[in-house]
Structure formats: structure tokens, C-alpha cells
Structure 1
Amino acid sequence: MGHSHGLSVEEQRKEDIKVGVKGFWILLLVTFAEVAIALFLKDLLPGLVVRLFMIALSLYKAYYIVSIFMHLGSEVGGMAATIVLPMALLIWAVIAFLWEGNYARTNRNAVMDARPGAETPAKETSKETSMRSIDDLPTQLSFQS
């Protein structure tokens, strides 16, 4: 784990094992708390409270793993930011793409079909999906140049 100056190799190994065992027990307790909340408290507490507890405990586990096992807890702020900020942008991008994809899926039939000869707006034939029936599809493909 961390390297302390002035310790022999055996002493450093023992310190590393202590940090690893402590991390194991902390992560085990937090995981048990998450499972207990999911199994036993989900009916007693409102759904939003349960979700907030689960998010908070998951973020704590992620922080602990990154700070202890990935050694970012002892790094300078700039180094930690080069790892944490791109991850935050990745999470934001996933949420944004899911949001936009859901919007496009729910409003798919309201969009005008720009192909020549296509119905406008697109005809919905099934209540389960917004896909058109196989009978409505053209039998031949034609590419206009």
C-alpha cells in the first residue's frame, strides 16, 4: 500500500497487510449495510431515502477504494483531479446519452420521415413498440444517386 520511510521490508509488509485487512473489513461492513437496507428497510423507508442511502454508501466505497487501494488519498490535488474529473464527465455523458435516447424513443412517431414517399408522421401499428409492421416496409431497396 503506502511506503513509509525508515521501515524494513518486513515491517512495511506488515503495515501493508494491516491496511489491506482494515480496508477489507470496512468494505465488508459497508456492503452488509447496503444489503441490509435493500432487504429489510426498503419497505419501512420511502423509496427516495433508500436510494439516497444506497448512493451514499456506494460513493463511500468508491472513494475508499480509490483513496486507499489506488493511492489517490495521498496524492496532490492536481493528480487526483486528472483521474476523478474525467470519470465524472464519463458518468455525466452516460446519463446524458440515456436521457436523449429515451426522449428520441418516446417521440419517435412525432418526427416527420424525410424519405420521399414516406408517411408523415410515421404510422404506428403496434401499441407495444413504435416499430412499423413488416408489411409496411418496402420490398425492394432503392438508392438514389
Structure 2
Amino acid sequence: MAQHLSYEESVRGVWKGLGLLAAVTVAEVILSLLKAAEFAESIRPLIYVASLLIIALSVYKAYFIIYEFMHMGYEVKGLAMTVLLPTMLLLWALIAFFNEGDAWRKSREKVLYKDQLVLPNSTEAGLSDDEVTLPE
């Protein structure tokens, strides 16, 4: 059976959660501004680390909101998995589709580039018309 908190404990927990979410949001904003700074453009590892930290903080924030404010942390494990598993599959599908789309785009760029190539005629290739024999 679940343990019920008093009203004061519940209010304190909500404020603590909101404070945690505010701190994570401020950290995300600072990292985003750091990435956008002019000096950071020349430092690629800084941009990659800041991007990974922003993603990690966003995932943590989503987890905390689902766990605490949607009360998923207080549910039975089976119900939590019925929400978590489709979400993970959706994220996997998004990554797979973006990866596939990027591969298609690169392939399409190759095709368009090859379509623009112009083959030289026989005189540009250094052959005279006498030397050129076409198969019949």
C-alpha cells in the first residue's frame, strides 16, 4: 500500500520539484548560450559536449516530470513499462528515420552531381574524327 504524505509534505515536495526543474532549465539555457557564443564556434569539442549535456538534461527533465508530476513513479512496474517501452521505440524510430533520410539525401546529391557532368566529345579528348570509330 502506498504511503500518503501530509498536505505540508506534498507542498514541500512540489516546490522542491519545481526548484529542481528551474535549475535544470537555467543550466540548459546557459549551455545553449555558451554554444551560441562567437568564441565557441572555433572550439568543436565544446559544442559537442554542450550539446550532449543539453540532451542529457532534457531527458532527465522529461523523466522527472513523468516520474513525479504524472505519478508514474508510484504506479506498478507493468504500467510504467507500457508507457516507457513505446516511448523508447518512438525515439529509436525517429533516430532511424533521420539516419535513413540523411543517407538518402547524400545518395541523391551524388546522383544530381553525376547528372550534371558533361562528357567531352572526341575533339576535346584529343582524337581526330578519323581515329574515332563507332561500333555498329
Give me the TM-score of the superposition, normalised by structure 2.
0.65
Structure with more relative contact order (C-alpha pairs < 8 Å, separation 6 or more): 2
Aligned with 1:28 (options 19, 22, 28): 22
Look up the equivalent residue of 2:100 and give its one-letter code. Answer: E
Q: 1:46 to 1:21 in 2, by over 3 A?
A: same
Determine whether 1:39 maps to 2:33. Answer: yes
Stretch moving more, 96-105 or 84-93:
96-105
Look up the equivalent residue of 2:15 and give its one-letter code. Answer: V
Gaps of 5+ in 2: 117-136
C-alpha RMSD of the superposition: 3.0
How many corresponding residue pairs? 109
Determine whether 1:105 maps to 2:105. Answer: yes
Partner of 1:136: none
1:20-99 map, 5 Å = 20-40=14-34, 43=40, 46-99=46-99
Q: 1:123 to 1:64 in 2, by over 3 A?
A: same
Tell me how far apart the structure 2 counterparts of residues 57 and 122 of structure 1 sit (CA, whole Å): 41
Q: 1:20 to 1:108 in 2, by over 3 A?
A: same
Q: Which has the larger radius of gyration?
A: 2
The 8 Å contact of residues 37 and 50 in structure 1, kept in 2 or not, is answered as yes
Tell me how far apart the structure 1 counterparts of residues 31 and 114 of structure 2 sit (CA, whole Å): 46
- As a proportion of its length, which structure holds more helix? 2
Please give the secondary structure, in 2, of the residue aligned with 1:91. helix
Partner of 1:115: none
Tell me how far apart the structure 2 counterparts of residues 109 and 50 of structure 1 sit (CA, whole Å): 31
Look up the equivalent residue of 1:56 and give its one-letter code. Answer: A
Please give the secondary structure, in 2, of the residue aligned with 1:92. helix
Offset of 1:110 from its aligned partner? 6.0
Give me the TM-score of the superposition, normalised by structure 1.
0.61
Tell me how far apart the structure 2 counterparts of residues 96 and 89 of structure 1 sit (CA, whole Å): 10
